[in-house]
Amino acid sequence: MCVTLRQGWHDGAVETATVRNAVRRIWADDVLPSLSELVAIPALSPAFDPAWAESGHLDAAVDHVRAWLRAREIPGAEVDVVRLPGRSPVLLLDVPASAGAGDRGTVLMYGHLDKQPPVGGWSDGLGPWTPVVRDGRLYGRGSADDGYAGYAATAALEAVREAGGEHARTVVLLETGEESGSPDLPAYLDHLAERLGAVSLVVCLDSGGNDYDRLWLTTSLRGLAQVRVTARVLDSAQHSGLASGVVPSSFRVLRGLLDRIEDSATGTVRLAECQVEIPANRVAEARASAEAAPGAVAGAFPLHGSTRPVAEDEVELLLNNSWRPTLSVIGASGMPEPAEAGNVLRAATTLALSFRLPPTADSAAALAAIEKTLTTDVQHGATVEITGTEHADGWNAPELAGWLEGALERVSDEVFGNPWRAVGLGGSIPFMGLLGEKYPEAQFLVTGALGPDSNAHVPDEWLHLDQARRVTEAIARVLDAHAAG
């Protein structure tokens, strides 16, 4: 291992400039055109396209990116599509270690190619499957979440090589079920375990932070539990004037059940199984994040009229969003549109409930407590049915190794010009929890180009192109630092 080369790589301006120039060239000439074409493919996640195998859109996305990867002609690299029966495919780029880094294990770099539904309400001139570059942004579904990740990972590897740096053996894994909760990923991890070998660093680019001025690390992810709960009071709907006051309202029954779980005045989830003690280091990170990007959390969402956030203290908002459980009612059935509603006491009401759980909560225990609370001693003896259950544990990052902390300090200074910050992510990336269990000794770098206003999952999703390029450059530098140990 050439120590002089590594010192030059870490501290020399020539190598730093080479990485930056390589990243910018690859993004402009190769990544952006191909990523734009990927945006145009309506590759809905299997949960939103049950006939995905017949529609062919997920396969089209995989084939598109596979062709791009093969055209890169990275020496020794293998590009494979792995298909297990009945499961959506996984695309792999397997790049051998450079000469001096064969003993550093495997770097596993993660992204996904499946997308959320298009939803309506896109601005004029924009659309989910219409890639548009405007004011340094690439608009379209899957641009920021998370279609760019495989491209950025590959560009980082190429930039390392072009600058004369080193990297360990690296596998870029792009799945096609993340937006469905990654149901097939455990099977693929088991299937690929021998091939992946000893994973020493995991890089996930399916995240972001509170501004576009620095590198943001995601240090925790919430878990989740989901249920569909139906309260049924009648075999058939009845005239509301004749039945009300005699027959209980199915909506009122559900409202009472929800009051057992959530304080409607504060939003506090009442179940002990959904609560954890927040670690002191995560509280400190929340304070530092609030100081680094004041107003970013409270101002991240288009609140209507005089609506205010649930708290004035941004540290509390950050902790609410990362380490405290929340309940969202994300769907309903059994209720007609208001304009079509007759004077009818409905037979049943169904609500889809989405719980976000603290990173270290036991999601199975939380789900069991939720189900028990919703089905025990139901008011008026109404029938309650639970369907569509799902749960996944969250993730809490291990402490940073010295080499990684040092690399982050350098890229923060030389790439972003601002110190890096850490933040807990309110959403879930099931892959991280799975990998945390499977590779407990690995270091984790969960980051990305998403910002508070990137509109993931909603209309006008967009990728901040400059931030994506900076993140790519930072990952290239981290790969070399990992190779050096």
Who contacts 365 (Cβ-Cβ below 8 Å, separation ≥6)?
273
Q: What percent of the chain has pLDDT over 90?
A: 90
pLDDT of residue 452: 85
Provide the residue count of the chain. Answer: 485
pLDDT of residue 235: 98
Q: Give me the residue spans of the domains in the chain.
A: 3-221+394-484, 223-284+311-392
* Strand residue runs (E) in 52-105: 78-82, 90-95
pLDDT of residue 377: 97
pTM: 0.85
pLDDT of residue 425: 87
Examine domains 3-221+394-484 and 223-284+311-392 and report if their fold is the same: no
Residue 476: is it exposed, middle or buried by C-beta count within 10 angstroms (0-12/13-18/19+)?
Answer: buried
pLDDT of residue 433: 83
Cα angle for residues 160, 165, 166 (degrees, 5° grid): 95
pLDDT 10s digits, 249-298: 999 999 999 999 999 999 999 999 999 999 999 999 999 999 999 998 88
pLDDT 10s digits, 39-81: 999 999 999 999 999 999 999 999 999 999 999 999 999 999 9
Average pLDDT of the residues in 449-465? 95
pLDDT 10s digits, 175-216: 999 999 889 999 999 999 999 999 999 999 999 999 999 999
CATH number of 3-221+394-484: 3.40.630.10
DSSP states along 399-425: PPPHHHHHHHHHHIIIIISS--EEEEE
Cβ atoms of 220 and 424 within 8 Å: the answer is yes
Cβ atoms of 463 and 137 within 8 Å: the answer is yes
pLDDT 10s digits, 145-181: 999 999 999 999 999 999 999 999 999 999 999 999 8
14 confidence band (pLDDT: 50, 70, 90) = very low
Cβ atoms of 149 and 110 within 8 Å: the answer is yes
Task: Kindly indicate whether the domain formed by 223-284+311-392 is annotated with CATH number 3.30.70.20.
Answer: no
pLDDT of residue 436: 87
pLDDT of residue 60: 98
